[in-house]
Amino acid sequence: MRRRLVAGNWKLHGSKTMVNSLVSDVINGLENEARTEVAICPPFVYLQQADSLLTGSAVRLGAQNVSAEIEGAYTGEVSAAMLLDVGCTYAIVGHSERRALYAEDDDMVGRKFHVAQQAGLTPILCVGETLEERNSGATEAVVASQLKAVIAAAGADGLAKGVIAYEPIWAIGTGKTATPQQAQEVHEFIRELIRQHSSLADQCRILYGGSVKPDNAAELFAMPDIDGGLIGGASLKAGDFLVICNAA
């Protein structure tokens, strides 16, 4: 049985005041922590503050990005060891915004995944297609090549031990969610692809992300291969995020 995971990706939002109130509201509002794992991914500079607020709670901490380098002359980078040091369990790698706006290619994402995992973090690998790719029938090919780059870097068992977030780019921040059936099809495809290379496919948690909201979370999470969600906008409002966590 895979344990559900709901992770909040705060993106470039937050302040010390907001971290204090949002983290406490999330901790106090969770109903079923044992069944569903919950994580929050604030910006780097607030990780330590969030970590102290999370002391004694089961809510996990994640980073939104991680360096592909271990240490050295890499101005502006934050390493996997540093993230562990400040209390992170997870690191998101390959979010579509990083791929599109910061030119992270499949090879770079594979290295980040591997470095994070080797350091002891659980990477959350984001994959997904653009609307154009979906309309031209290329969804599976795009997702497969994103997954294969990670298999090349970390092995298929490595991939299966991480978390995968299927996030169709056309659904991110647009209010347009994939239907549960559309999402399930891709999740099943991802699990089958892993199964071809690893015996751990059934353990791998595959999250859906892209305009998950309180009113669509339950139907998405009811699909057999959807093991939780990566939540952007709705993770910034404690009330909305809690409804989503409790739906899982």
Residue 40: closest CA among 9, 15, 12, 65:
9
| Residue tagged active-site, from 95, 114, 133, 187 | 95
- Known catalytic residue: 167? yes
User: Who's near 1: CB < 8 A, 6+ residues apart?
Assistant: none
Q: CB of residue 197 vs ligand PGA: minimum separation in angstroms?
A: 26
Distance CA 59, CA 51 (A): 10
Q: State in angstroms the smallest separation of the CB of 130 from ligand PGA.
A: 14
Q: Where do contacts with ligand PGA occur on this chain (CB under 6 A)?
A: 9, 167, 172-173, 209-212, 230-234
Residue number with CB closer to ligand PGA (123 or 210): 210
Of 94 and 210, CB closest to ligand PGA: 210
- Confirm whether 132 is a catalytic residue: no
How many other C-beta atoms are found inside a 10 Å radius of the C-beta of residue 76? 5
Q: Which is nearer to ligand PGA, 210 or 228 (CB)?
A: 210
CB of 236 to ligand PGA, least distance (A): 9
Distance CA 217, CA 228 (A): 9
**CB nearer ligand PGA, residue 156 or residue 207:** 207
The residue sitting closest to ligand PGA, measured at its beta carbon, is 232
Taking the complex as a whole, the smallest distance from the CB of residue 3 to ligand PGA amounts, in Å, to 20
Please spell the DSSP secondary structure of 2-49, one letter per residue: PPEEEEEE--S---HHHHHHHHHHHHHH-S-TTTEEEEEE--GGGHHH
Tell me the one-letter amino acid at 152: A
Q: Rounded distance, CA 43 to CA 15, Å? A: 9
Cβ–Cβ < 8 Å for 44, 11: no
- Three-point CA angle 37, 40, 45, nearest 5°: 150
Active-site pick, 37, 97, 104, 167: 167
Q: How far apart are CA 204 and CA 158, in angstroms?
A: 10
Taking the least distance from each CB to ligand PGA, the nearer of 115 and 178 is 178
Q: Report, in Å, the least distance between residue 229 CB and ligand PGA.
A: 8
Catalytic residues: 95, 167
